[in-house]
Structure formats: C-alpha cells, structure tokens
Amino acid sequence: MTSTAPQTDQAIAGAAVALNTAGCWLLSPATKRRIAAEAGLTLPAGDYTLLTQIDRWQPVRLSTIAERLEVDRSSLSPQTQRLASAGLILRLPDPLDHRAQLVEVTEQGHEVLERLWAARSRALAELVAGWAAEDVHRLTASLVSLAESIDARAHRTGA
C-alpha cells in the first residue's frame, strides 16, 4: 500500500457522500415533479425512468429490464401499458422467440425523452451556474467515466 492510500480512501468516501447527495436531489419527488412539469410530462415519474431504460437497451424484453433493475417483471406491466397507450413505446414480436415481446421507444417517445433530458440539463445548469467552465467540463468527464465503469460492470455481471 502506498502513502496516498488513506487520501484515496478519504476521496472515495467523500465521493460516495457527494453522489448520495446528488442522487437524493435528482431522485427526490420535488425535483422529479419540477423537471416533469418543465418538460410538460404527465405520466408518473417512474414511467419515464422505465422509458429511459427501454431507450438504453432497445429493442429489449421487459424481463431483461426487470432483471437489470432488480424488480419483479409484473411491476413493470402497468408502466409499460401506460407508455404504450401514450404512444411512447411499441411492442414487437421477438424474432428469436415468437411467444415473447420486445419493446422499443417510438419517435414520439424520443421527443419526450429529449424534453426530459433538456429539463434535467437546465436543472443541473442552475446548480453549476457559478462554476468555472473547466470545472463543469471536469465534472462531466468524471461522471462520464463513472457511467462507463458502471456500464462495464453491469455488462460483466449481467446486472
């Protein structure tokens, strides 16, 4: 172990606390309501979370999303029905198993996601409004790297 290990451990602990704070802010009902209202969204917030996951992995079976989100597949049924009824997703036959269905985001769904991401970006921009440009770029690069590490781990473990 090097002499910087305690400093690294402290930095990681600080990052964990900061990510918790950021996650609690982003996932709080008040923040979700504000972002949804600004984006003109009318469905429950969880529906849009599912929509982003479908977009990320599409075309995809709902059972795969349920596994990755670690939820029971049946809990996704009401959300999936609302997204389909709103014209945000399509259900397609799975070419590998005609008994199963795949879901994918429609053009209208992509438009909704664009509004959602724009509203989230504006909310984040408010938080970093006083920051130097290089600090915003450093934050972005670090978060992109973290997201890539998360994706790589999820790919390795199937979660």
Q: Taking the CA atoms of 32, 37, 42 and 48 in sequence, report the sign of the dihedral they define.
A: negative
Joined tokens for residue 154: 């999820």
Q: What tens digit of pLDDT does each residue of 100-114 get?
A: 899 999 999 999 999
pLDDT tens digits, one per residue of 15-61 = 999 999 999 999 899 999 999 999 999 999 889 989 999 999 999 99
Mean pLDDT, rounded, of the chain: 91
- Report d(CA 110, CA 29) in Å as an integer: 23
14 forms beta bridges with none
**Residue in 7, 30, 41, 25 with CA at minimum distance from that of residue 51:** 41
User: How much is the pTM?
Assistant: 0.83
